[in-house]
Structure 1
Amino acid sequence: MQLREVRPSDLDAFFAHQQEPEANLMAAYQARNPSDRAVFDHHWSSILNDESVLVRTIEHEGEVAGSILVFDGAKPEINFWTSTKFWGKGITTSAVDAFLAEFTKRPLTAHVVQDNLGSLKVLERRGFKQVGTEQIFSNARAAVVTEIVLELND
């Protein structure tokens, strides 16, 4: 696993990852129309052109496995997305470790839907602690879900 700068060609893989139903359910995230490439491209253009965002591609054996980023605002927040093809292989764990070594500003927050046990485990094992919960509407689930709010201070 390696983290690297995002290349324009990575966006095709990121778009394909966004189409994975199981990943959308676990993240509880889904664009209103996940197959709308124009909306996806606009969203990623905003991310890549925002100087307050640090974003990396997660690559495994030459293949784009996902992305990881932090919105470095008043309360920096980490987000990551890994294709279902790479789940259960330690790739996300390695990516988070490498990213936390690069982005050292604390506190760092994360939001994870309460039944996304894989992501919760990755973050909690890295020292993130629960500091609250929030109710959000999930397009992927067409329902209100509970997100665990986590924070890393060390």
Structure 2
Amino acid sequence: MIELREIRDSDLPVFWEHFSDPVAQHVAAVTRPYHYDRALFDAHFARILADPEVLPRTVLADGEVVGQAAVFGPPDERGVTYWIARPHWGRGIATAALTELIGLDPTRPLFAHAAADNTGSIRVLQKCGFVLTGRDTIFAESRAAEIDEVSLTLT
């Protein structure tokens, strides 16, 4: 059973393990400095949890913390993000979690971005009603290279 709940302080060490997985970083491609530095990670989540514009949630699968998801940003640029731990990929968890998350925030449109070769994430977003709306080239820190990125929108 997949469920979302408010993030607890005890979730943060688990999230750190997820975010610092080099294989997951490579698949996600677009990482931030807080994926590599625990102090920056802690500061990042402190900002997220204090920001009323962000709707952050812990993703649970059968009671186990398996990831996090959030809606963030001002109404005209509102986006979604999620990170599911690699051992839990391919089980429908991201789709179920994102479906529940977007049901909690009625703002539309919602925006998302994914590495163009991250077919799993693109498939999750499309199952949740997002449609491809653009393509760009960006620098992917985890790959130390320029990559193709797709933009998706939920209206």
TM-score normalised by L of structure 1: 0.94
Deviations 1:58-110 (A, max 9, x none): 01122111000011313100000000011011111110111121112100000
**Distance apart, 1:137 and its partner CA:** 1.0
Unaligned runs of 5+ in 1: none
The residue that corresponds to 1:54 in the other structure is: 55
Residues 78 and 111 in structure 2, CA contact (< 8 A), matched pair in contact too: yes
What is the aligned-residue identity percentage?
40
**Distance apart, 1:42 and its partner CA:** 0.6
| Larger relative helix fraction | 2
Residues 1-154 of structure 1 aligned to structure 2 (within 5 Å): 1-32=2-33, 34-73=35-74, 74-153=76-155
Aligned equivalents of 2:54 and 2:135: distance in 1? Answer: 24
Unaligned runs of 5+ in 2: none
2:22 aligned partner, one-letter code: P
Bigger Cα displacement from structure 2, 7-16 vs 72-81: 72-81
Deviations 1:99-129 (A, max 9, x none): 1211121000000110110110011122211
TM-score normalised by L of structure 2: 0.93
**Distance apart, 1:8 and its partner CA:** 0.4
2:69 aligned partner, one-letter code: I
Q: Count the aligned residue pairs.
A: 153
Aligned equivalents of 2:103 and 2:31: distance in 1? Answer: 29
Backbone CA RMSD of aligned residues? 1.3
